[in-house]
A and B are shown apart, each in its own frame.
Chain A
Amino acid sequence: MENTLSTKKTKQVDTNKTPFTVKELKRQWILVAIAVVYVVYGIIFYYLPLVGWIMAFQNFVYADGITGSKWVGLYKFQFLFRDPTFLKVIRNTFAMGALNLVFSTVVAIAFAILLNEVKNKWFKKSIQTISYLPHFLSWIIVVAIVHDALTSTGIINELLMKFHIIDMPFPFLGKTEWFWPIVTFSHLWKETGWNAIIYLAAITSIDPSLYESASIDGAGRFQKMRYVTLPGLRPTIMILLLMNMGNVLNAGFELQYLLGNGLVQDVSRTIDIYILDWALDARNLDYSLGTAAGIFKTVVSMTFILVSNYIAKKRGDERLF
């Protein structure tokens, strides 16, 4: 056992590029045949709807269709980027997405590792089951509870006043600087247990003999966590991180929509909320504007993915493609 799993894999990823030969193609014909089926499926259900992107360059009216609607060139994009509000919502979306990415990844990993250290199976199972329950509550319910706790008469203000940390109730939900932390916390609260499931599954793939040999070498618990568990999780962490990079601009809609209010709207509104307000207004359905914003999101996401995938490749880490 010279190597841990991850180093072994890294090498393989980097060196094994099978040269394209007819012989090889014949040998793996079954793989290729199946791949073709998947490509056809993917084209139908994922790539065909992308034709709709044309709408972003039109003043799309449903009755006239894509062929009949008026062309407006880049007007919709100009409208977006000339609107200071749109720039603000990009900032908000990005900030909340990034905070959420960092914290939910770190906390979920920490939780998975700590849970893995529990020896008592019953306790372990119970904690894990409990931890993932809030995932099934809708945001409406979670936000109602968060709201309830943070109002002037809520439990948080009550406690702070009891311990004389503050004399007057603090308006957490009316303060712009508190909005992002509250959103991040709400996410953690609801999703940590759920996010940890994937890491717990990945931990099972770590070769138990690694722990044994580490023990023989006199490694303590922290060392084992640091030098066996964490490296064992590395491929999973990298893959999830890479994929979630592309989701930074999908920071969400419902949570911010429900939690926000007039006082904090400068920091609470995300791109999706903006689209809802401006493009999905029943009085003037502007699918073109919504599509333009969607294209912008996709372009940014793909850029993130390509760059981080490139970096991962350079570093010899797990990568997406």
Chain B
Amino acid sequence: MKTKKLVALALASMLAVSSFTACAAGGKSGSGITDFTMFAAMAGKEKDEGNEIKEMIAQKTGVRVKESWLTGQNAGEAIGSIIASGKLPDFIDGGDGSITLYQNHLLVAWDPYLEKYPNLKEMYTEEEWDKFRMDDGKIYWANVFGNHYKDDTTTGHNGEAFWIQARVLEAYGYPKIETLDQYFEILEKFAKEHPELPNGTKVIPYTCLCEGWKYYCLENAPMFLDGYPNDGCVIVNVDDGVDKPKVVDYNTTDTAKAYFKKLNEEYAKGNIDPDFAIQTYDEYIAKLSTGAVLGLCDQYWDFAYNIMGPFATPIKATDGSSFRLDQLGCDYVPLGLTAKAGMQNQWHTYGDELNQASGCAVTTACKDPDKAFEFLSRLLDQDIHDLRFWGVKDVDYLVDENGVFYRNEQMRENWKSDSYKAKHTCEYSYMPQWMGMSKDGKNYMQPAEKPEEFRAGLAEPLKKAFEAYGKSTYAEMVGSPYIMGAEKYPWYPLWSWSNGISSDTPGGIAWKKMGEEKHKWLPAVVISTDFEKDWNAYMDAYKACKPEDFLKEAQDEVNKRLKTAQDHGWKAS
């Protein structure tokens, strides 16, 4: 009896499977809409089937793209397996693996389509496009981020800084803080005087993430403290003139040693989170979300978006009342610290940072590349762009009598909800997009850039802190001079090179080994009980990695980029 039942069940299931195998043939659906696929070698969230704005865009453009993201693999594994499986998506952002895709001849060159679709061509200047050219002289991808239509209207500071809770500054009358000594002094003082939050949570004066590649939070401050911008891997010294740049290793400078010694002392005093070296990213975000951490060093995007929700949720205090962390002043204010007081800092650079190492590409598997590029171009049309980033008129944003877009509270909340985003919004976030002012000159390409939207999102104590210092945006708060990084320094940012450096050259191997040693030694010297001894041991281990190989290749790259710029008529200003 039982066997019969099982066999029957098996047969039934097989039938079921084969029946929906049959109807699985994809491609062009009835309504004349072409279905494309896209893979981005990053973590991301999938959109629901039948996502509302995606459907609207499909109606307008005739193209619907199903995006998928990195899952359970690193970018290398994913790209490698996609190549071998022989089944490529139509669009791809290979991240670090873009170069591998190119080497395997799997991408379609943009060149003919750039001429055909001015929208795409408009994304970059001729000189910028040249930076994307591969060794065969063609362009295979375009980076889509941080690209401003006309002017840089940035209100935020997406980059790195030493951050401090607004309430700490408020408690001492908004003092001027320029150095690490001043920074830790005020953190320590505040922690002594206010050891607990109203709900009894103990405060942590300072923490620092060093998990995986995010150990930059600990690692690269010496570069900024010396007053240099975020080249990511080295300092490019321009004391002899911008046309005579010299690459300097920031890991071995006196500033670096002084910085780590300072951290070591503060750790011994108990001012640094004892778990800083072992915490995971989740734990770090959890800690920040409690409002307990007074200060930290990180890039804004890495922590800020994830703590907004918890900071805006009411919590019960020990006395039974309820409070919100953002209203208490737990939001973070960026400080542009330097090694010595009065130095100029470049924690914030203005203008676009071009990352030519990766970007949005069309693969050879795409049956209709012209349609694909036409779609990319259409995405940059203002109506579609507004749908992507502002949403549907009257549902996601309102328009006042002057034609200016704005959102109400409910709309802002909606755009923070994951399920709303999965069901309704469709940013096509790894495809061409603009920042800055809209083409109509009235609105902004993306809501977060609109100063009013930005300010509406700020809690009261944060506004007060900005006012006290006479600044209106995060960027101003950091206090860097108005330098268009990429215009002043033709090689900037150099991390667009070091992020893509492969381990098949001596410099690449050195870079990787340096990273491994730093991962181990930097937290170790901070918690060390004998700083000098461990610092020397670190320096020995570091030198054994042959950093000079890496620095040489970095210098070569800087020279190469400088030369390319000079060939395009660039002159030191």
**A and B in contact, CB less than 8 Å:** yes
Question: Which A residues lie at the B interface, using CB under 8 A?
Answer: 61-63, 85, 144, 147-148, 151-153, 169, 171, 173-174, 258, 261-263, 265-266, 276-287
Number of A-B contacts (CB under 8 A): 105
Residue among B76, B79, B96 facing the most chain A CB atoms (10 A cut-off):
B76
| Binary flags per residue of B94-116, CB closer than 8 Å to A gives 1, else 0 | 11110110011100000000000
Flag if A280 contacts B77 (CB, 8 Å): yes
Instruction: Report the Cα distance A151→B76, complex, angstroms.
Output: 32
B158 at the interface (CB under 8 A from A): no
Flag if A85 contacts B516 (CB, 8 Å): yes
The 19 sampled A-B contact pairs (Cβ below 8 Å) are: A61-B103, A63-B104, A85-B516, A147-B278, A147-B280, A152-B275, A171-B274, A171-B278, A173-B278, A258-B280, A261-B277, A262-B215, A263-B523, A265-B519, A278-B503, A281-B502, A282-B95, A283-B503, A285-B79
Flag if B283 contacts A284 (CB, 8 Å): no
Flag if B103 contacts A63 (CB, 8 Å): yes
The number of residues on chain B lying at the interface, defined by a beta carbon within 8 Å of a beta carbon of chain A, is: 43
B520 at the interface (CB under 8 A from A): yes
Flag if B503 contacts A262 (CB, 8 Å): no
Closest Cβ of chain A: how far from B281's Cβ, in Å? 11
| Nearest B residue (CB) for A168 | B274
Instruction: Report the Cα distance A258→B105, complex, angstroms.
Output: 35
Instruction: Report the Cα distance A152→B519, complex, angstroms.
Output: 21
B411 at the interface (CB under 8 A from A): no
> B residues within 8 A CB of A151?
275, 278-279, 283
Closest Cβ of chain A: how far from B94's Cβ, in Å? 7
Known: A152-B274, A281-B503, A282-B76. A174 touches B97 (CB 8 A): no
Flag if A261 contacts B278 (CB, 8 Å): yes
B524 at the interface (CB under 8 A from A): yes
B75 at the interface (CB under 8 A from A): yes
B501 at the interface (CB under 8 A from A): yes
Flag if A261 contacts B502 (CB, 8 Å): no
> B residues within 8 A CB of A169?
274
> B residues within 8 A CB of A174?
277-278, 523, 527
> B residues within 8 A CB of A144?
280, 282
B134 at the interface (CB under 8 A from A): no
B310 at the interface (CB under 8 A from A): no
Instruction: Report the Cα distance A61→B99, complex, angstroms.
Output: 13
Instruction: Report the Cα distance A40→B87, complex, angstroms.
Output: 28
Question: Which B residues lie at the A interface, using CB under 8 A?
Answer: 41, 74-77, 79-80, 83-84, 94-97, 99-100, 103-105, 210-211, 215, 274-275, 277-280, 282-283, 500-504, 508, 512, 516, 519-520, 522-524, 527
Instruction: Report the Cα distance A304→B431, complex, angstroms.
Output: 51
Partner of A283, one of B501, B516, B527: B501
Instruction: Report the Cα distance A284→B501, complex, angstroms.
Output: 8
| Nearest A residue (CB) for B357 | A283
> A residues within 8 A CB of B210?
261-262
Partner of A280, one of B74, B95, B523: B74
Flag if B520 contacts A266 (CB, 8 Å): yes
Known: A261-B210, A262-B277, A265-B516. A282 touches B523 (CB 8 A): no
Partner of A287, one of B80, B282, B503: B80
Instruction: Report the Cα distance A63→B83, complex, angstroms.
Output: 9
> A residues within 8 A CB of B280?
144, 147, 258
| Nearest A residue (CB) for B279 | A151
> A residues within 8 A CB of B279?
151
Instruction: Report the Cα distance A281→B80, complex, angstroms.
Output: 10
Flag if B278 contacts A281 (CB, 8 Å): no
Given A281-B502, A283-B503: 20 more A-B contacts, CB < 8 Å: A61-B104, A62-B83, A62-B104, A148-B283, A152-B274, A171-B527, A173-B278, A174-B277, A262-B210, A262-B520, A262-B524, A266-B520, A276-B76, A278-B512, A280-B76, A283-B76, A283-B99, A284-B502, A284-B504, A284-B508
Instruction: Report the Cα distance A261→B281, complex, angstroms.
Output: 11
Instruction: Report the Cα distance A61→B512, complex, angstroms.
Output: 22
Known: A62-B104, A262-B210. A282 touches B74 (CB 8 A): yes
Flag if B524 contacts A285 (CB, 8 Å): no
Residue among B79, B83, B278, B522 facing the most chain A CB atoms (10 A cut-off):
B278
Instruction: Report the Cα distance A258→B279, complex, angstroms.
Output: 11
Flag if A282 contacts B100 (CB, 8 Å): yes
> A residues within 8 A CB of B275?
151-153, 171
Flag if A283 contacts B96 (CB, 8 Å): yes
Closest Cβ of chain B: how far from A256's Cβ, in Å? 13
Flag if B282 contacts A262 (CB, 8 Å): no
Known: A282-B74, A282-B100, A285-B80. A265 touches B520 (CB 8 A): yes
Instruction: Report the Cα distance A258→B2, complex, angstroms.
Output: 45
Closest Cβ of chain A: how far from B84's Cβ, in Å? 7
Closest Cβ of chain A: how far from B293's Cβ, in Å? 13
Instruction: Report the Cα distance A276→B73, complex, angstroms.
Output: 9
> B residues within 8 A CB of A258?
280
Known: A151-B283, A262-B215. A282 touches B277 (CB 8 A): no
Instruction: Report the Cα distance A266→B520, complex, angstroms.
Output: 8
Flag if B274 contacts A285 (CB, 8 Å): no
Give the top 4 A-B pairs by smallest Cβ distance, nearest first.
A284-B502, A282-B97, A282-B96, A282-B76
